[in-house]
Structure 1
């Protein structure tokens, strides 16, 4: 089966061009917001907190904050990218074009993941101005960053197809993903919780993402790195299966 490289590239470049047209919203705003966390939690509060393991508190929260931005931006970028063609009606041009559904998904999700990874790296560089950082496993850090961005861009793609209004695009990111990220160990270690709440926390899927990402920095993890990676791959597989079902059935695409 021949791959329509030209179609994938056209959609990908169109989505990337939209980012460069709105740099304040796409890049500057998330970086400034995350920098405020570094100042408040890393500087003001972190200076009065003990180290966790051998890691200063300000540095300890950096992986969690990057993951928070990565998840929200991946979902937002991918969900808006596919919802807007639905809103304007241009989705029918895509569906009738000689482009396979998986080629369109690769382009949209690839663009959203690229934007999220670039933003995550910019935030990582910004963090070095506020706290001392070390990355013990840089290759795994980049791999996990890309894998998480791809997974949640796919999840955002599903949300964009499911949503029937701009308000619904914000429901799951604001009411589900962001709270789960804050409760998933962004600002603390799960081991610091009482045993009952620690058990509850392990049902939070974001715990495994943050734990795996933090391990790549400091070698510290609340759960085994193999489990973190496996959970991420399982969620990725589920998202791929859901997207395939959507295009086979035309759910929220042909109505």
Structure 2
């Protein structure tokens, strides 16, 4: 493996984070803090405990997942789209670097940013609600795997998109609504039976539920099912990226 090449791509992408610190870190943290104030404070005071957990604390894992999923996708898609847009992607493709090393550099940087953001939001949440993490190792595992998986999905979107409109289409119109409807702010047990069944068709529900289990030992679905769902996402995303580089889809045109 060409460690120097992976490190060069990774370092370049991480440097972009520090150049756009307000957009990459500060803005998501401020937005999440507003969610805590509005939902945890104003609305949460009118809602009873869920599974013995105060509403403000209950939504913490969901809000972290909301930001991690959206930021992972956006960071990775922008990271690979702009080299395509500017034409510098051909310098990377023609270099003595394997496709897997290119993916590791771009996706690794996007996942690192998202994990950092998730941990910062977790620390910020401690100022608003009392927190407890029943399974800290599992929490980190869910966070890292989810960030890496959706960074791969974002990487695929960045390769697929040939306009800025397409770049924003999937994150804004598909991923974000699925996250909001995936139990971020509520338990599906609060829904009528028909909507509970429909919610089980939302793949993001399993990610949020598994991450919430790592905090409080309770979730809407089994933690085993949640972990399997994440691994399915990861496998499909890795297979798709491998196919793209093997066929040159959206790269050779």
Verify: 1:194 aligned to 2:209, yes or no.
Answer: no
Q: Residues 151-166 of structure 1: matches in 2 within 5 Å?
A: 151-166=149-164
Please give the secondary structure, in 2, of the residue aligned with 1:228.
helix
What's the counterpart of residue 62 of structure 1? Answer: 60
* Aligned partner (choices 108, 114, 128) of residue 116 of structure 1: 114
* Aligned partner (choices 233, 236, 239) of residue 237 of structure 2: 239
Q: Residues 99-114 of structure 1: matches in 2 within 5 Å?
A: 99-114=97-112
What's the counterpart of residue 51 of structure 1? Answer: 49
Output the CA distance in 2 between the equivalents of 1:71 and 1:79.
12
* CA deviation map 1:39-67 (0-9, x unaligned): 00001111121000110000000100000
Output the CA distance in 1 between the equivalents of 2:151 and 2:129.
29
Output the CA distance in 2 between the equivalents of 1:49 and 1:201.
21
* CA deviation map 1:7-59 (0-9, x unaligned): 00000000000000111000000000010000000011111210001100000
* CA deviation map 1:91-139 (0-9, x unaligned): 1111110000000001100000000000000000000101111100000
Output the CA distance in 2 between the equivalents of 1:220 and 1:43.
22
TM-fit CA distance, 1:148: 0.1
What's the counterpart of residue 8 of structure 1? Answer: 6
* CA deviation map 1:115-173 (0-9, x unaligned): 00000000000001011111000000001000000000000000000000111111111
What's the counterpart of residue 135 of structure 2? Answer: 137
Segments of structure 2 that go 5 or more residues without pairing to the other structure are: none
TM-fit CA distance, 1:193: 1.1
TM-fit CA distance, 1:218: 0.5
What's the counterpart of residue 79 of structure 2? Answer: 81
- Size of the aligned set, in residue pairs, is 253
TM-score when normalising by structure 1 = 0.98
What's the counterpart of residue 229 of structure 1? Answer: 227
Q: Residues 173-184 of structure 1: matches in 2 within 5 Å?
A: 173-184=171-182
Segments of structure 1 that go 5 or more residues without pairing to the other structure are: none
Output the CA distance in 2 between the equivalents of 1:47 and 1:199.
28
What's the counterpart of residue 18 of structure 2? Answer: 20
TM-fit CA distance, 1:222: 0.6
What's the counterpart of residue 149 of structure 1? Answer: 147
* Aligned partner (choices 92, 95, 110) of residue 93 of structure 2: 95
Please give the secondary structure, in 1, of the residue aligned with 2:194.
helix
TM-score when normalising by structure 2 = 0.99
* Aligned partner (choices 212, 215, 218) of residue 213 of structure 2: 215
Please give the secondary structure, in 1, of the residue aligned with 2:250.
coil
